[in-house]
Structure 1
Amino acid sequence: MAIVKLSATERRRASAFFTCLILALCAWIAITLSNSYDYQVKEVLVFKNSPQKRAFHPLQSDTVTATVKGNGWQMLFSKMNEQNRIIKVDLSKLDSEAYVVVSTQLNAINAEKAVDNEIIAIAPDTLYFDFTNRSDRKVPVQLVKSVNYQQQFTQSGNIVIKPAYVRIIGPSNVIDKIKFWRTDQLTLKNINEDVNTEVNLQAPDEGNVSIYPKTVQVSIPVDEFTEKTIELPVKLVGNVDFYNVKVFPQKVKVTFTTSLNRYADIDEEFFEAQADLNLWRAYGYSSLPVKVTRLPDYCKIVNIEPHNIDFIVKK
């Protein structure tokens, strides 16, 4: 392949030519991008000033197409401004009407936009709503959690949620079916001390349902645990025919874990052990398994000795 050799003068001329070409191209791009254009972007509707006496349900998607007037630079970088793509629509007129014309609010919408590009049209321009009776009630909060404790540590008492109830507002046919409201999942790992944290409530699936407040305070008592053994009398249940029954032994040893802070206070008054005579009458059991049917939430059964008791029935 032939190699063209340029003299020093020719190289300077070539360098000057390409420099001018690049500068001209940059100038053309800058001029082109400085011109005004109309372009379309997707925007998400956010409602404000919702009617307090009417529950509503939008009859269209919460995403609209906005025609925006801006320069070429704004159009070029519009894909990078997704966090600004929110249109706040005032619903105060829904107190007397069943629709909202968005074009009548363009001045207010543009005034609230963080970027300097003007929305000149929105499609659809008219938003329609369905109305039902509005209901207002309180439901308990249900904590969704995934908690992992450090070895020999665990929950040592009841979880406290404040507030324990939240207020939900929305259509009666929706609100009346709600029995509780879940939180976002609280995920904790390797815990070895008390937990006090704020947890968000799950957002409503329906746009016409509101919850107050939107967060709750969650307290989880955590303590180091150790084992303790107590003797419990066995309570006989299921003796529907009132037989004279004697059980052997009459007490069982129950080993459980409890927190160090509660170790001295925990005794047999906190527990109840039962054996069901109906297992003999209905299924022919020759010995009855023992179950601990009552114990504190912060205790965990490790072992019951013996697991089964013998019995004598005198008819």
Structure 2
Amino acid sequence: MAIIKLSAIERRRLSVFVTCLVFAAFAWLFTALSNTYKFTVKQIISYKNLPQKRAFYPLQGDTVSAIVQGTGWQMLFSKVDYNNKPINVDIHTLETKNFIVISQQLKQINAKKDLSHEIITVNPDTLFFDFSNRIIKRVPVEVVSDIQYQKQYSQSNDMAIKPGYVTISGPAEVLARIKTWKTDSVKLKNVNDDFSGRVALQKPKEGNLAIIPRGVNVTIPVDEYTEKTLEIPVKVINNQRYYDVRVFPQKVKVTFTTSLTDYPEMNEDDFEAVADLDLWRHNGYSTLPVKVTRLPTYSKVTKIEPQVIDFIIKR
């Protein structure tokens, strides 16, 4: 294989030539991308100034194709630049008609955008809507949470939500499917104290719904947890023939977790332990397992001693 050997002067000349070629290519690319072009992008429609007396349903999707005039740089990064910049369409005129022409609003729409690029046309240009009577409905707020607590800490009581209800207005057939309204997710880590803050409500997916208010105040009580043991009497259930049943032992030791705040107040009246006589009558059990069927909210049973009990039936 032949190897071309260059002198020091030739290598310098070649290096200068390659460098100039690279700079020329970058200069041409920079000049080309600085020129103005027309290109098509997909943009999401966002509605503003909703009609107050009519509920509406768009008869087309929420995305339009927009022909945009901008620089080559904007064309190159159009997918990144335009995906999060919706077109705000004013629909207050739907009070008296059932369509909107976007081209009639392009001046106002472009006024909100960067002067270096503007929307030339939109397809579809005319948006059509279906209408139904607008109704109002109150639904409870549902808090979405993803909370990680420190070891031995946890939620100690029901969270407080103010206001607990939101008012939704929109088409009757849409509101009929809505039972609650969710908040944005409350994400917390390493929690060892009460949380209190303003949480935004999830935005409606349908453009014809209005939500009041836009956010709620949420308080989540948090406390340190420990274990406590109580002796709980065992109650026999499903004794349909009213047998004279005696169990041994008559009480079991139930160990459970409880918050430090509630620890002094916990007593056997807060619990119910049962043994099911149907397990003997239908399945021939010679001993009966014990289950705790009632305990305070946010407490958790960790151990029952003994887990099974003996019994005697007098006929």
TM-score (normalised: structure 2): 0.82
- The match for 1:119 is 119
Flag the 1:2–1:281 CA change in 2: closer, same or farther, 3 A.
closer
1:162 aligned onto 2:175: no
Unmatched 5+ residue regions in structure 1? none
TM-fit CA distance, 1:212: 3.0
C-alpha deviations, 1:156-210, integer Å up to 9, x for none? 2222233322223332222212222333433333322222244443343433334
Structure 1 segment 85-104 matched on structure 2, within 5 A = 85-104=85-104
Flag the 1:283–1:143 CA change in 2: closer, same or farther, 3 A.
farther
C-alpha deviations, 1:143-166, integer Å up to 9, x for none? 333333222222222222333222
- The match for 1:228 is 228
SS at match of 2:174: helix
- The match for 2:196 is 196
For residues 106 and 127 of structure 1, the distance between their equivalents in structure 2, rounded to whole angstroms, comes to 14
Structure 1 segment 1-315 matched on structure 2, within 5 A = 1=4, 30=31, 37-70=37-70, 75=75, 78=78, 81-82=81-82, 85-315=85-315
SS at match of 2:264: coil
TM-fit CA distance, 1:301: 0.8
1:169 aligned partner, one-letter code: S
For residues 170 and 41 of structure 1, the distance between their equivalents in structure 2, rounded to whole angstroms, comes to 31
TM-fit CA distance, 1:62: 1.5
After superposition, the CA RMSD in angstroms is 3.4
TM-fit CA distance, 1:80: 5.4
C-alpha deviations, 1:245-273, integer Å up to 9, x for none? 22222222111111222221211222222
C-alpha deviations, 1:206-238, integer Å up to 9, x for none? 333343334333322222222111111222322
- What is the percentage of aligned positions where both structures have the same residue? 53
For residues 306 and 203 of structure 2, the distance between their equivalents in structure 1, rounded to whole angstroms, comes to 50
For residues 294 and 5 of structure 2, the distance between their equivalents in structure 1, rounded to whole angstroms, comes to 97
For residues 276 and 312 of structure 1, the distance between their equivalents in structure 2, rounded to whole angstroms, comes to 14
Flag the 1:33–1:248 CA change in 2: closer, same or farther, 3 A.
closer
C-alpha contact (below 8 Å) 1:244/1:313 kept by paired residues: yes
C-alpha contact (below 8 Å) 1:84/1:115 kept by paired residues: no
C-alpha contact (below 8 Å) 1:42/1:85 kept by paired residues: no
2:289 aligned partner, one-letter code: P
Flag the 1:118–1:280 CA change in 2: closer, same or farther, 3 A.
same
For residues 77 and 250 of structure 2, the distance between their equivalents in structure 1, rounded to whole angstroms, comes to 81
TM-score (normalised: structure 1): 0.82
C-alpha contact (below 8 Å) 1:144/1:186 kept by paired residues: yes
C-alpha contact (below 8 Å) 1:140/1:165 kept by paired residues: yes
For residues 160 and 166 of structure 2, the distance between their equivalents in structure 1, rounded to whole angstroms, comes to 14
For residues 106 and 247 of structure 1, the distance between their equivalents in structure 2, rounded to whole angstroms, comes to 83
TM-fit CA distance, 1:109: 1.4
Flag the 1:174–1:4 CA change in 2: closer, same or farther, 3 A.
same
For residues 243 and 94 of structure 2, the distance between their equivalents in structure 1, rounded to whole angstroms, comes to 72
For residues 210 and 236 of structure 1, the distance between their equivalents in structure 2, rounded to whole angstroms, comes to 54
SS at match of 1:219: strand
Flag the 1:55–1:255 CA change in 2: closer, same or farther, 3 A.
same
For residues 2 and 311 of structure 1, the distance between their equivalents in structure 2, rounded to whole angstroms, comes to 104
1:216 aligned partner, one-letter code: V
1:194 aligned partner, one-letter code: D
2:208 aligned partner, one-letter code: N
1:304 aligned partner, one-letter code: I
SS at match of 2:261: helix
Deviates more, 1:99-108 or 1:65-74: 65-74
For residues 76 and 56 of structure 2, the distance between their equivalents in structure 1, rounded to whole angstroms, comes to 38
Count residues in correspondence.
Answer: 308
TM-fit CA distance, 1:292: 1.5
TM-fit CA distance, 1:47: 0.3
Deviates more, 1:150-159 or 1:194-203: 194-203
For residues 247 and 264 of structure 1, the distance between their equivalents in structure 2, rounded to whole angstroms, comes to 29
C-alpha contact (below 8 Å) 1:46/1:86 kept by paired residues: yes
